[in-house]
Amino acid sequence: MFTVKIKSVNLNEAALVQNCAFDAFEDDSNKYGSYPPNIESMDWICAEIDKGNFYKVLYGGAFAGGLCVELDADKILDIKYVFLGQQFQDKKIGSQVMGLIEKQFGEAVAFKLLTPSGSLRNHHFYEKQGYIKTRVFNPIADDDDFSVFEYVKRVGAK
């Protein structure tokens, strides 16, 4: 079994991050008609890398995916994106990545993320990781058919 690691991304890896995100979110794009917000913007990805918010997922040294996170003033970690390329999915890497995020950001009192309400596999995965669905909302004012779930995992002060 290969080792899973998360490491900071540098700007010369931005295209690699974006291409992996396109691969990882291809099914969502086909289902919902677009990729998640900002994934198509290289400027946004580079800005998040500059802020130190993007990490790469390495599986046995190979680039397997990425995550974009931001710790707020209340010590709540917003997991904006966490993704694995299709060839790395269904290998239990995601569970290890979620554990590494919690370890890397041990000062966080809670972790939160959003996922489409129609992504049942994601719901099961996050709930298995200890996340609780806290709200449902429609992020697109003129699209009543699309909603997202917010999940939160509270871990207390460390």
79-103 mean pLDDT: 96
| pLDDT band, very low/low/confident/very high, at 60 (cuts 50, 70, 90) | very high
Top-confidence residue, 89 or 157: 89
Q: Under a CB-based contact definition with an 8 Å cutoff, are residues 138 and 149 in contact?
A: no
Burial of residue 100 (CB within 10 Å: 0-12, 13-18, 19+) is middle
Q: Which pLDDT belongs to residue 157? A: 55
CA distance 110 to 77: 6
CA distances in angstroms from 55 to 10, 115, 124, 138, 144, listed in the order given? 9, 19, 24, 28, 33
pTM, entire model: 0.90
The domain ranges of the chain are 4-154
109-121 mean pLDDT: 91
Asked if residue 145 has pLDDT above 90, the reply is no
CB atoms within 10 A of CB 85: 21
Q: Under a CB-based contact definition with an 8 Å cutoff, are residues 67 and 101 in contact?
A: yes
What's the topology of domain 4-154? Answer: Aminopeptidase (3.40.630)
CB atoms within 10 A of CB 30: 9
Q: Which pLDDT belongs to residue 152? A: 98
